[in-house]
Amino acid sequence: MNGDPITRLTEWIEEAGGANRIEAIAMCLATVGANDRPAARMVLLRGLDGRGLRFFTSYESRKARELAEHPFAAALLYWPWLERQARIEGVISMLPESESDEYFDSRPRGHQLAAWASDQSAPVESHAVLEERFAHFEQRFEGEAVPRPHSWGGYLLAPSYFEFWQGRPNRMHERIEYKRSGNEWKVTRLQP
């Protein structure tokens, strides 16, 4: 068993198709709302290293409001074609502005404009309103680089728990749990 869950997760993502395959980096992110009820949605894993998992969103979205209230989250990556899933739990913090700027600058221009056009999670009268807002920002930033809105940026999920599940015949699945203990990981094999 690999003693480093970040290395194992990185290997599994690569085996699922790597960072350029959306299905390999799509993850379900679960947060807790003000009513203490869970909420889940799909986001894209946009970075992974020794610090943890990174994703980006509007700071005014429902998920961001929930993370501000309860800075903990759970994530799940699932690769049915490999019969694998990885569960992660940990503490959430906002990324430094420099990291959010760097990632924003790497996004396609249309995605950058959409970050300006959409007040994520807020009600809207019609899709036409969104299209008008997009056209407005397209014109506003014509001929120049699109700056990152201050209402948009990244988060880091610093993991304290991982579980790697590998499907096996007869439902005799392999489950490996990693729990952080200080600076080390305690590794345990779980029954299916």
The span from the CA of 98 to the CA of 126, in Å, is 34
The span from the CA of 70 to the CA of 156, in Å, is 14
Torsion of CA 62, 63, 69, 73, to 10 degrees: 160
Expressed in angstroms, the distance from the first to the final Cα of the chain is 17
CB 44 within 8 A of CB 22: yes
Is 148 considered catalytic here?
no
Q: Is 70 exposed, middle or buried (0-12, 13-18, 19+ CB in 10 A)?
A: middle
Distances in Å between the Cα of 73 and the Cα atoms of 5, 93, 160, 188 are 17, 10, 11, 22
The span from the CA of 150 to the CA of 173, in Å, is 45
Among residues 51, 84, 171, 180, the one annotated as catalytic is 171
Q: Which positions are annotated as active-site residues?
A: 171
